[in-house]
Amino acid sequence: MDTRKKLNTWRLVAAALLTPLLIGAPANAEGLVDQIKERGEIVVGTEAAFEPFEFMKDGKIVGYNKDILDYVVEKLGVNLNQLDLPFQGLLPGLLAKKFDLVATSTSINAERAAKYAYTRPVGTAMVMVLARADDDSINTLKDLNGKVVATQLASVAQPKLEDFEGELKSEGGSGFGETKLFTSFPETHVALASSQVDAIAIPSPTAGVLMKKVPDTFKVIGPISDPAYLAWVLRPDNGDLRDFINAAIGEMADNGKLKELQMKWFGFEMETPASGYLPEGAR
């Protein structure tokens, strides 16, 4: 074979080898929304232990966020694979790409916003302290000095509770007798009712539901934080999915569906702004 024929042969071989790579390039470059539509399923991580946002009923995940999620998934035109997992594993699992989205109520703060991407808010909450209704030793927040107080591990309430204990000490108090951390908020409810702890710090929407269910069991002592926005969480490089979700939530806000769901699950309307909710440096 002469030199010219050899060159032509190698060109054909090279072209044959490169063709699959060139075909595959657009598929690798497509966004997460396209990938989800191609596979026909979105995988979502949730902690179904935050009533009325998301909780288990008759073996199924229900709640305010589930109704919003169903709206989003319907617009995507895919099946929903929703996993119920402890909150502590949701954000690490997201970064490990075990799911496409964390659709559980997660507070927006600067530390998380520097590492993860938030959707627009779906609601608001502040951290409230509850005690047993028959405990006459706790009537104000200052009465928590020397008491055993509980909250959920790695939740927004934990740092707020730590900050509040610091305030008690700065005012000359002893601080808490002990801080107990549980895997979920419902576990703190049981611990308080059974006198394992003296008080609990939980989000205000959950406190509202709890007070309606068992009004004679607990009493509200007061808030230990300002209101915070709650949102869903994605990986920072999945901006296309965030934009899709934000557009769906915006559509629900405009057509009245979001207000309808808030009245259904909470009995009041919450602020869910389309802008100005992210801290400086957010991704």
Residues 43-65 have a mean pLDDT of 96
Query: Do 32-125+229-265 and 127-223 share a fold?
Result: yes
Closest CA to 242 of 61, 113, 82, 151: 113
Cα–Cα distance between 269 and 123 in angstroms, integer?
Answer: 9
Cα–Cα distance between 260 and 272 in angstroms, integer?
Answer: 13
CA 194 to chain centre: 28
Cα–Cα distance between 258 and 68 in angstroms, integer?
Answer: 8
Q: Which amino acid is at 183?
A: T
My answer on whether omega of the bond before 159 falls inside 30° of 0, hence cis, is: no
Can you read off the two tokens belonging to residue 115?
């590492």
Residues 208-218 have a mean pLDDT of 91
Q: Which amino acid is at 54?
A: E
Q: For 219-238, write each residue's pLDDT tens digit.
A: 999 999 999 999 999 999 99
**How far, in Å, are 21, 22, 34, 164, 243 from residue 238 at the CA level?**
23, 23, 11, 36, 9
Q: Which amino acid is at 25?
A: A
Residues 54-79 have a mean pLDDT of 97
CA 127 to chain centre: 15
Instruction: CATH number for 32-125+229-265: choose from 3.40.50.1000, 3.30.565.10, 3.10.20.340, 3.40.190.10.
Output: 3.40.190.10
- Secondary structure class of 133 (helix, strand, coil): coil
- Stronger pLDDT, 36 or 208, i.e. the higher one: 36
pLDDT score recorded for residue 16: 37
- Residue 17 pLDDT > 50: no
Q: 67 falls in which pLDDT band (50, 70, 90)?
A: very high
Evaluate whether 57 touches 26 at the Cβ level (below 8 Å).
no
Q: For 156-189, write each residue's pLDDT tens digit.
A: 899 999 999 999 999 999 999 999 999 999 999 9
- Stronger pLDDT, 268 or 146, i.e. the higher one: 146
pLDDT score recorded for residue 183: 95
With a pLDDT cut of 90, the percent of the chain lying above it is 82
Q: For 112-159, write each residue's pLDDT tens digit.
A: 999 999 999 999 999 999 999 999 999 999 999 999 999 999 998 999
Q: DSSP secondary-structure letter at 279? A: P
Domain ranges across the chain = 32-125+229-265, 127-223
Closest CA to 164 of 223, 227, 88, 228: 223
Instruction: CATH number for 127-223: choose from 3.10.330.20, 1.10.10.10, 3.40.50.300, 3.40.190.10.
Output: 3.40.190.10
Average pLDDT, the chain: 90
Query: In residues, how long is the chain?
Result: 283
